[in-house]
A and B are shown apart, each in its own frame.
Chain A
């Protein structure tokens, strides 16, 4: 059984098919990355998986069960999401934000219990936010903010984490920091990760599995070794490139040459 799976998924925006016949499978405890050019439907797929966008056709399965048939609160205990668009009031502290991750477990008007508080501490520890817990999220750097949000999703104690472009707007050092954190969480907690990345080299380095989207369809999927090929990059991204072996990081990397 797969952690998540979609079968002949279709999504339309005003008659235009944005996703066509998507068969997407995520294995337990793996990092699955979705790549593709702008407008290929990456974010739409992520939104459909995270039940923010209802499919026009097809079904999304969460551990073999139709996601629509599971209560949204229960879904939130199995799958956490970190969307691109998030808002934060100016005076919310890291600790307060992180504690919101306990929402799916709390009844109406119920306060955080001892166990909840322990989990909040653990999540801040895990993401290196302990020293910043009193700070207002608003005042943090981009990388620290993203870590605070990730800590919030950890409090949901889910097996799956879905991230939409977690490294956008961050400089290269923070990008690396966030991806290392995601990898570490994947290894130490057995967290199943589904994310969208723009940088093909980062996708190749951090993923177990890559899905390539092109104009709303899955162009190809497989291990980074299978995906990072001259002809595929040429077909999908319209650039000529060279592929090399990165012996230090034990992965493939590519250098773009020029547009086709």
Chain B
């Protein structure tokens, strides 16, 4: 109890630290003191312009995207009782990706519809997978397999599009690997309500997921409406991940990796896992995006590449070192 509260406070400090590192670093360095000053006294200095219109929006979007994706992954791993489940499994990445690519490649004039299209595509893919897996009830294994097959099909569509229109692929790569360049307050608004709403909801219902983890029959015995709960959680995680994908592109790996890292530190009880995943997810994307900006400055690399290049080895290291994943 005491130990877990301590870890969560540690993650909260990491979150705050990541925020200042992310806002403060780039072509112009800004100290934490100045950041606070700019946020609270909005003078019209150059620092204000940089922080308020460029850095802050980007950092906030990074944090919200991280929160949405890692919550989505944590929920899905629980309801599917499968450690490999993540936003990719319910077709969010491939569905959102295909929809975005259809717009970007076939109807480039309507590029501004990409966020909406990706969001709708992600939700539709999820509902389709759920529908296919339904057979008087949705068995988690059937859902995972349906998701894998459906994602392969949607990815075939993505690759097909890129093969037929090789000249238009350049503008699409940013979306494919996930990137945060050129974020504005509009994107902050797009994702803010999903991230905050999702966080508020999951903080209320960790017990339902803890009980679902005991097995369908045990959960029924305890009076949980298993099918309805599972559908509600799938919709929730699809909304969360879909809103993230619509803003930054296919960054699904966060949703798989961050919840597991959180588990390694804090265990599987969703009462602690949810806050840990929120804080760690936000921190991870903020830090990785800072690296993406700074590492090869003035050139910038998509955050998705950093995420995989640093996140995956770190995850593997934890996996070897700690034996909490059983």
Contacts and interface: CB of A to CB of B under 8 A. Distances in A.
A binds B: yes
What 3 pairs across the A-B complex have the smallest Cβ distances?
A: A76-B223, A89-B268, A81-B221
Contacts of B225: 72
A90 B216 CA distance: 18
Contacts, number: 83
A72 B210 contact: no
Interface string B203-221: 1110100110111111011
B269 interface: yes
B213 A89 contact: yes
B210 A86 contact: no
A54 B227 CA distance: 13
9 contacts: A52-B216, A83-B217, A87-B81, A87-B215, A88-B214, A89-B267, A89-B268, A108-B205, A109-B204
Given A86-B215, A88-B214, A108-B205, A100 B220 contact: no
User: Which size bracket describes the interface of A in this complex?
Assistant: 35 or more
Given A75-B223, A77-B223, A81-B217, A91 B267 contact: yes
Contact of A76 (B136, B222, B269): B222
Contacts of A103: 207, 211, 222-224
Nearest to A161: B221
Contacts of A74: 223
Interface residues of B, number: 25
Dominant SS among interface residues on chain B: loop
Interface string A94-119: 00110011011010110000000000
B326 interface: yes
Interface in A56-80: 72-77, 80
A80 B221 contact: yes
Contact of B221 (A82, A91, A138): A82
Q: Which of A75, A92, A106, A162 has the most CB of B within 10 A?
A: A92
A148 B137 CA distance: 29
Interface string A31-69: 000000000000000010011101000000000000000
Contact of A83 (B215, B324, B326): B215
